[in-house]
Structure 1
Amino acid sequence: MLESLTIQLPSIDSAIALAGEREGNLKVLSQQTGAKLVLRGQELLISGTDTQVDLSQRLIQSLADYWSQGKAITGVDILTARQAIDTRRQEELQDLQKDVLARTRRGEEIRAKTFRQRQYVQAVRTQDLTFCIGPAGTGKTFLAAVLGVQALLANQFERLILTRPAVEAGEKLGFLPGDLQQKVNPYLRPLYDALFEFIDPEKIPNLMERGVIEVAPIAYMRGRTLNNAFIILDEAQNTTPAQMKMILTRLGFQSRMVVTGDLTQTDLPANQASGLAVAEKILQSVEGIAFCHLTKADVVRHPLVQRIVSAYEHYETSKNR
């Protein structure tokens, strides 16, 4: 039996937030429920079977804390809400929505977007060593940087150390212009970008001169003991097993380390094992170490990124058959 429902939204801002850019959220809601959704001003018209309309209403209501205040929602938010309804995790969804990790310099609220992202955040908060493995766009590095910056600003740690292997992809470091720091900066750009979201770029050079923030290739870590520091090792799939062992054994007292990587994007030579893959096998059952795995369902970039990841996964699977 077909039925229809009209939801009166409180403001134009809330209508825009719910509908999304080019009404993309309404399309996602329709895909998830089978109902037809049409926005006319501040009125949302929902039509379909009883089940379709009811599910649409429940999904929209579960996201009301966002759109009612004019806060933008995304397709990922809708998919997480659908998962919460299907698995009866509505209370956990509310906790996820209320847990604001940080605010950017522009005042934007940063939250975990999916249940797996939230598990990752909780692991970083409670474990001294956390590995996060997943495809591009799942927020591995960004969330680690958010938590690291917030911990630094709250004086939980004296230093924030960001490092990654400088794996050469096509160009040799020696042919890049500038001194050594300028040569390695392109490899560390994603880490700087995350810092700039929360700390005034003009203040970062001073913090780096004082050693409060250190951004350096992994080779700089050899022979050191990193005490009272929040350490992020990014692009860990490009470490060798020896490099991975070296950086993990740098962990000092009152320190925390987060290791992130994507095993499908290894730039090492074909005959070279990835330190991240080896570490996952060796350390999986070691007490005090958390392993978090994100998937294409956790991609929080442009919706096209999720489809690109899916296409590559399908290609790799069919190629290996």
Structure 2
Amino acid sequence: MINTDTIVIDDPDTLVQVCGPNDRNLKQLEGLLHTRIYTRGNEIHLAPENSEHSSLFESILNDLLFSVKQKKTPNSYMIETLFQYYTGENPLSDGKEFLTHEINIPGGKGRIIPRNLNQARFISLMENHDLSIGVGPAGTGKTFLAIAYALSEILNRRYRKLILTRPVVEAGETLGYLPGDLTQKLDPYLKPLFDAMEEILTTAAFQKIQDMKLYEISPLAYMRGRSLKNCIIVLDEAQNTTQEQMKMFLTRMGEGSRAIVTGDLTQIDLPCKEKSGLIHAAGILKNVDGIGFSSFQRGDVVRHPLVKKILEAYEQEHTN
């Protein structure tokens, strides 16, 4: 039961989940609303002197109740995102749309639930576009979400194969000669993709897709001349493609295929004379029907809390 300034929750377990451990969720909401929230039995109250926040209080608590019904435990990311939704620009049509977006992977370690509005929007774009391009700083979950969505599509047998690719460009240093066969030489460049797959899948599921040859990891340089039919293709670190490479990649899409491109425009490792293919493509393809663009910001960082502060410090140094 929900009233303007009071929420009554009859189920004790639901009440505990909404309030959080030691009322952590309510304390966070107090900080965001700059007002007092208190509990009395099975009731959650907004302080009467702050009734101007009634609508926002009601909307967020209503959505937290909805999340519990969806078997999603309210957390700090969810509360922050709902607050941003109701007080800022809305990239999705309503707050509950954020709460219903998720990636379910057969054999996965759990549901992949977006931690902010832009992650939810990126999932929506991947679901509804044959080509999705996600751009943003490190730590915003671009690669993780792209691979999670692609694995979900493969394990649900909607596509024949998953193709994972990256440009082989060294980040500011020359590694020189690398020993071993082609796979061993490429492993350092493609390891982040394996890391994401291992984080998402159980050992059994990972072994299954290996045994069934449901995925392929390929350097971008080896994509020329291929026509990839009924595949889902992920191009990571796309900021390090040249214009020619990006055009070549995008034209590999065959009948029944879907492609996802991710990149960080603040970490371009190309020689100075080369213009990033991702920047070029974003400029000329922004109005093409069937292509979805998603932009992540520094505020969307979901890695260690220090990552956001580090990015901010580098941005300030760059502008000074």
Q: Where on the TM-score scale, by shorter chain, does this alignment land: which range?
A: 0.7 to 0.9
* Separation in 1, partners of 2:165, 2:269: 17
* Separation in 2, partners of 1:29, 1:315: 33
CA spacing shift, 1:72–1:309, aligned 2, 3 Å: farther
Aligned residue runs from structure 1 range 151-166, under 5 A? 151-166=153-168
Shift of residue 297 of structure 1? Answer: 3.2
Q: Which residue of 1 aligns with 2:78?
A: 77
2:287 aligns with one of 282, 285, 288 = 285
Give the secondary structure class of the aligned counterpart of 1:110. Answer: coil
Q: Which residue of 2 aligns with 1:15?
A: 16
* Deviation readout 1:79-113 (Å, 9 max, x if unpaired): 32123333697972213212332158565322333
Give the secondary structure class of the aligned counterpart of 1:254. Answer: coil
Shift of residue 59 of structure 1? Answer: 2.3
* Separation in 2, partners of 1:229, 1:5: 51
* Separation in 1, partners of 2:11, 2:305: 28
Give the secondary structure class of the aligned counterpart of 1:216. Answer: strand
The answer to whether the 8 Å contact 2:140/2:302 transfers is: yes
Is 2:204 aligned against 1:220?
no
Q: Which residue of 1 aligns with 2:150?
A: 148
* Separation in 1, partners of 2:120, 2:86: 17
* Separation in 2, partners of 1:9, 1:173: 62
* Deviation readout 1:51-92 (Å, 9 max, x if unpaired): 356644542332123357884433332232123333697972
Q: Which residue of 2 aligns with 1:66?
A: 67
CA spacing shift, 1:269–1:54, aligned 2, 3 Å: same
Aligned residues with identical type, % of pairs = 38
Q: Which residue of 2 aligns with 1:32?
A: 32
CA spacing shift, 1:269–1:205, aligned 2, 3 Å: farther
1:247 aligns with one of 233, 240, 249 = 249
Aligned length: 314
> What 5-or-longer segments of structure 1 have no aligned partner?
none
TM superposition score normalised by structure 2:
0.81
Aligned residue runs from structure 1 range 98-113, under 5 A? 98-103=100-105, 105=107, 108-113=110-115
* Deviation readout 1:213-265 (Å, 9 max, x if unpaired): 01122122122111110000001011111211221121111111011001011
CA spacing shift, 1:116–1:39, aligned 2, 3 Å: same
Shift of residue 124 of structure 1? Answer: 1.6
> What 5-or-longer segments of structure 2 have no aligned partner?
none
* Separation in 2, partners of 1:240, 1:24: 48
Q: Which residue of 2 aligns with 1:131?
A: 133
Indicate the larger mover: 120-129 or 62-71: 62-71
* Separation in 1, partners of 2:286, 2:61: 39
Shift of residue 149 of structure 1? Answer: 1.2
* Separation in 1, partners of 2:26, 2:177: 50
* Separation in 1, partners of 2:11, 2:18: 11
Give the secondary structure class of the aligned counterpart of 1:252. Answer: coil
The answer to whether the 8 Å contact 1:152/1:160 transfers is: yes
Give the secondary structure class of the aligned counterpart of 1:109. Answer: coil
Q: Which residue of 2 aligns with 1:258?
A: 260
Shift of residue 13 of structure 1? Answer: 8.0
The answer to whether the 8 Å contact 2:238/2:277 transfers is: yes
1:305 aligns with one of 296, 304, 307 = 307
The answer to whether the 8 Å contact 2:102/2:123 transfers is: no
Shift of residue 8 of structure 1? Answer: 6.5
The answer to whether the 8 Å contact 2:106/2:155 transfers is: no
Aligned residue runs from structure 1 range 37-56, under 5 A? 37=37, 47=47, 49-52=50-53, 55-56=56-57
